[in-house]
């Protein structure tokens, strides 16, 4: 049996690795490379990532690829079905549905990205401070978290958006105010376990400030699960924003946002169902893509959890067949 590769200068390490490969001894891979390798092999992640990349490209290139302006009316072609002139038909004002869908991707995906970034910033910051300092600070933050989690999230977001007034900005603020608590609870739990680790004690013994320890020592170790949670939750954020826009609290006409498009097409569902089908498919495909990528990230970063989830799903499937 070959001896393990010893640690030495970079050139010596490279020579030892080359010799180990020549003798057929496997060289250990880093966790990041292993995670990327698992992601490339996961077909669901490839499909979900392809959908998201395609939507992002379509949203960025909307001014170039959209056949018409999203607000340009064609009164001679109102409520027209899909055809050669208008691939996805027109709405009650004669506006091209495909153009509105492409421009709507900008508002919908952009609002999801902005809301998720704000949620992560608030949730991670509150969780770091609460878990690291403990005591009165921890009690204060956790009481706020408990209070917000006591209300149904959609109802609370609906109330906040209603108080702020109908606009996409109000919806994003409402979603951020509701969703950050789950991130704070997750990060706090991980910080409570990390603050007693040897590397944190060593940094504290060397005189590092609490901010340095939280940002440079603890944060890199708690960030991967937060990224996985954010990816899994982005589909839910999109559904919440679209739901509030569908209720008339989000982007206001003539803005092209997927939830607003559903709201405007609601009176014509029986006669012109394509007006609701197109944005509905866009929302469903995006949520599915986020879930596929999130599941793949979770399995890649924590294979043990991924195996347990797959085994649980397999058991439920077998029980249903019985």
Is 320 a residue whose pLDDT tops 70?
no
Is 278 a residue whose pLDDT tops 60?
yes
Q: Give the CATH number of the domain where residue 113 resides.
A: 1.10.3720.10
DSSP 90: B
Report if residue 7 sits inside a domain: no
pLDDT of residue 285: 95
Model pTM above 0.85: no
65, 58 contact by CB (below 8 A): yes
pLDDT of residue 1: 41
**CA nearest neighbour of 232 among 180, 298, 322, 177:** 298
237, 178 contact by CB (below 8 A): no
pLDDT of residue 21: 41
Report how far residue 258's alpha carbon sits from residue 241's, in angstroms, rounded to the nearest whole number. Answer: 9
What confidence category does residue 175 fall into, taking pLDDT thresholds of 50, 70 and 90?
A: very high
Residue 135, both tokens: 């005591």
Q: Angle at the Cα of 71 (from 69 to 77), degrees rounded to 5? A: 85
Q: Is the dihedral of CA 211, 214, 219, 225 positive or negative?
A: negative
141, 274 contact by CB (below 8 A): no
**Share above pLDDT 90 across residues of the chain, in percent, rounded to a whole number:** 56
What confidence category does residue 295 fall into, taking pLDDT thresholds of 50, 70 and 90?
A: confident
- Secondary-structure breakdown of the chain: helix, strand, coil percentages, each rounded to the nearest 5: 75, 0, 25
Report if residue 33 sits inside a domain: no
DSSP 231-253: HHHHHHHHHHHHHHHHTTSSSPT
**CA nearest neighbour of 256 among 113, 143, 112, 99:** 99
Report if residue 119 sits inside a domain: yes
Report how far residue 299's alpha carbon sits from residue 44's, in angstroms, rounded to the nearest whole number. Answer: 11
Report if residue 52 sits inside a domain: yes
79, 268 contact by CB (below 8 A): yes
DSSP 169: H
Report if residue 13 sits inside a domain: no
Is 170 a residue whose pLDDT tops 60?
yes
Residue 220, both tokens: 């890199």
Range of the domain at 234: 44-321
Is 281 a residue whose pLDDT tops 60?
yes
Question: What is the count of structural domains for the chain?
Answer: 1
Residue that wins the pLDDT comparison between 9 and 243: 243
Is 125 a residue whose pLDDT tops 70?
yes
Is 309 a residue whose pLDDT tops 50?
no
Encode pLDDT of 153-165 as tens digits: 889 999 999 999 9
Report if residue 23 sits inside a domain: no
**CA nearest neighbour of 149 among 141, 243, 169:** 141
What does the mean pLDDT of the chain come to? 84
Report how far residue 170's alpha carbon sits from residue 136's, in angstroms, rounded to the nearest whole number. Answer: 32
Is 19 a residue whose pLDDT tops 60?
no
pLDDT of residue 127: 94
- Show Cβ contacts of residue 68 under 8 Å, excluding neighbours closer than 6 positions: 74, 95, 96, 99
Report how far residue 108's alpha carbon sits from residue 172's, in angstroms, rounded to the nearest whole number. Answer: 11
Report if residue 27 sits inside a domain: no
Report if residue 20 sits inside a domain: no
How confident is the model over 245-263, as a mean pLDDT?
92
Report how far residue 298's alpha carbon sits from residue 211's, in angstroms, rounded to the nearest whole number. Answer: 28
How confident is the model over 282-295, as a mean pLDDT?
93
pLDDT of residue 154: 87
pLDDT of residue 42: 80
pLDDT of residue 88: 92
Q: Is the dihedral of CA 157, 161, 162, 168 positive or negative?
A: negative
pLDDT of residue 225: 86
Residue 4, both tokens: 């393990």
Helix H or strand E encompassing 287: helix 274-301
Encode pLDDT of 29-74 as tens digits: 555 677 677 777 788 888 999 999 999 999 999 999 999 999 989 8
pLDDT of residue 310: 52
**Share above pLDDT 70 across residues of the chain, in percent, rounded to a whole number:** 83
């Amino acid at each position: 049996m070959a001896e393990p590769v010893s640690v030495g200068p970079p050139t010596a390490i490279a020579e030892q690795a080359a010799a180990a490969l020549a003798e057929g001894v496997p060289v250990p891979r880093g966790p990041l490379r292993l995670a990327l390798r698992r992601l490339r092999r996961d077909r669901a992640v490839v499909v979900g990532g392809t959908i998201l990349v395609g939507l992002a490209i379509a949203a960025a290139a909307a001014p170039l690829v959209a056949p018409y302006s999203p607000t340009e009316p064609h009164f001679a072609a109102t409520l027209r079905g899909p055809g050669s002139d208008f691939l996805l038909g027109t709405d009650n004002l004669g506006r091209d549905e495909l153009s509105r869908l492409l421009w709507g991707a900008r508002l919908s995906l952009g609002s999801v990205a902005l809301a998720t970034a704000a949620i992560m910033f608030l949730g991670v910051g509150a969780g770091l401070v609460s878990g690291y300092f403990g005591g009165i600070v921890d009690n204060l933050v956790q009481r706020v978290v408990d209070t917000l989690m006591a209300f149904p999230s959609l109802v609370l977001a609906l109330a906040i958006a209603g108080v702020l007034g109908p606009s996409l900005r109000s919806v994003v603020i409402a979603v951020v105010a509701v969703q950050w608590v789950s991130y704070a609870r997750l990060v706090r739990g991980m910080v409570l376990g990390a603050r007693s680790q040897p590397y944190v004690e060593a940094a504290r013994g060397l005189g590092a400030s609490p901010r340095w320890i939280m940002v440079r020592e603890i944060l890199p170790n708690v960030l991967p699960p937060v990224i996985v949670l954010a990816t899994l939750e982005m589909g839910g954020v999109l559904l919440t924003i679209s739901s509030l826009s569908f209720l008339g609290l989000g982007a206001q006409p003539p803005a092209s946002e997927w939830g607003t498009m559903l709201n405007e097409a609601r009176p014509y569902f029986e006669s012109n169902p394509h007006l609701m089908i197109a944005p509905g498919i866009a929302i469903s495909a995006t949520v599915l893509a986020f879930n596929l990528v999130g599941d793949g990230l979770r399995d890649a970063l924590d294979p043990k959890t991924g195996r347990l989830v797959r085994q649980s799903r397999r058991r439920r499937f077998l029980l249903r067949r019985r």
